[in-house]
A = this chain, B = another copy of it.
Amino acid sequence: MRLFTPIDLGTMRLANRVVVPAMVTRLAGEDGRVTDELRARYLRFAKGRPGLIVIEAMSVHGGKSGPLLRLSSDEFIADQAELVRRMKEIAPALKVVPQIIHFLKIARSGWRQKPGDLSKEEIRAVVRQYGEAAERAGRCGYDGVELHMAHAYTVSSFLSRLNQRPDEYGRSLENRMRLMTEILIEVRARVGPDFPVGVRYDGEECIKNGYTLSDSKIIAVRIAQLGAAWISISAGGKFEDAVKKPGVPIYPYTGYSGDRCMPPASYPDGANLYLAEGIKAHLVASGYTTPVVATGKIRTPELAEAVLQRGQADLVGMARAMLADPDWVVKVASGRADHLVRCVYGNVCKNLDENFRKVVCYLWPKGALNAPDSPDTSIPSWKTTGALEGRESAGRVHLSWDGAADAEGIYGYEIYRAAGAGTFDHVNSVKGTTYVDRDVVAGVAYRYFVRAYDFAGNRSPRSRELGIALAPAAGGAAGEGT
């Protein structure tokens, strides 16, 4: 698979093209430092041997910001150097970079600082702070650095089409790109030519009057011209359409743009791929080979590989899929894709972040702070032969089954469904032994089976296959409604 071939991001050679993008964990200390819990999370990711891990966004500026990492002064270097050293002990070929971020002030009252509120001196400070933090990244032993220019944060807010600052930092596209440009120049000058610098930014803002692919493809060329070693494409995640809750600081992933940033179950796979594809095509047409990372509900090995084969991007980032199963690369590369613990895109992780709680995966065993990691190879067994019953009621299919048993512990149950003569698809995973499928429609014959999986990802045999044929809409509805 092309997924598991090496690629160079500037001077940094990745062993494969799977990236763990920056994900907030809320496991850092309130003082901005690495905690044991945070270190354990990243060591677990390292064990899964992706090509690149981007450590969660850490602030380049001082000031309190809750349990988020910082790289705003030299005091943070030692902890992070230790983190990098230990990750590489586990996976010597792994590359690790931090994502560095500047954000504007927000208040519980709902007030928030906007691009127009910054003095020229404050803008110069942002540029300098990015440069200093990038330099510190090198001193930590990181392999490079990723500049956060996406979502609701400072650089993205300057890039926004809503940035109507009247001076040379607003209104025209050139002016909106000025802060980004100055930061990239400053960072590249500070770290030197051999330290790879990547950029993550939005391919579309996904808000009213926000920028779209028309601007983002031009922004990509600028980023490439300024010597970025990779370009990672996100979408949305803005304050403008966020849902306001009284007395709580606004969270930029609660509106439509938040859905687009982390597409929930209702979205098709690869919902944002057209953005990476459009940007990649424009870079190529403009003569730039800068590698592009595509993200956004890419979950299956088939889709991840297809993205590379089709040339839509050069690398694939998987955040929630890797949180659910950090061993994604190891399992897929060794032909054990059927052992993947598959993210169901229920966004429990996102909701935990929104509520200032430690970010864990709903699919992990209750109370766990990390994905299980077990050498167990024995498979779970069904308590009852032929478990799985079902019935249709009010347009839904209600499934239930007798549980499975496992030497170590049952982790959950995967529900598979096929429509008509189609192939089986994983539609959800649950911890209990019942499931209500609301997404079925009349006139279709469905087939289901269930599999139990244990802490190590071992699967039980399939349950018996259950067929449920729903009556056609035409007959039923005609009799009822007309």
Contact = CB atoms under 8 A, between A and B. Distances in A.
Contacts of A439: 172-173, 215, 218
Output the residue of A206, A212, A477 with the most chain B CB within 10 A: A477
Interface stretch (A50-58, A86-94, A179-187): A179-187
Interface residues of A, number: 66
Interface string A159-183: 0010000001001111101100110
A473 B438 contact: no
A177 B473 contact: yes
B225 A473 contact: yes
Nearest to A168: B394
A256 B206 contact: yes
Contacts of A222: 441, 443, 473
A119 interface: no
B172 A396 contact: yes
Contacts of A46: none
A185 B127 CA distance: 63
A474 B394 contact: no
A473 B173 contact: no
A250 to B, nearest CB: 14
Given A212-B271, A256-B207, A473-B225, A482 B182 contact: yes
Interface string A252-284: 001111110000001110010010001000000
A303 to B, nearest CB: 14
A172 B225 contact: no
Interface of A: 123-124, 127-128, 131, 161, 168, 171-175, 177-178, 181-182, 185-186, 189, 206-215, 218, 222, 225-226, 241, 243, 254-259, 266-268, 271, 274, 278, 286, 394-396, 420, 438-443, 470, 473-474, 477-478, 480-482
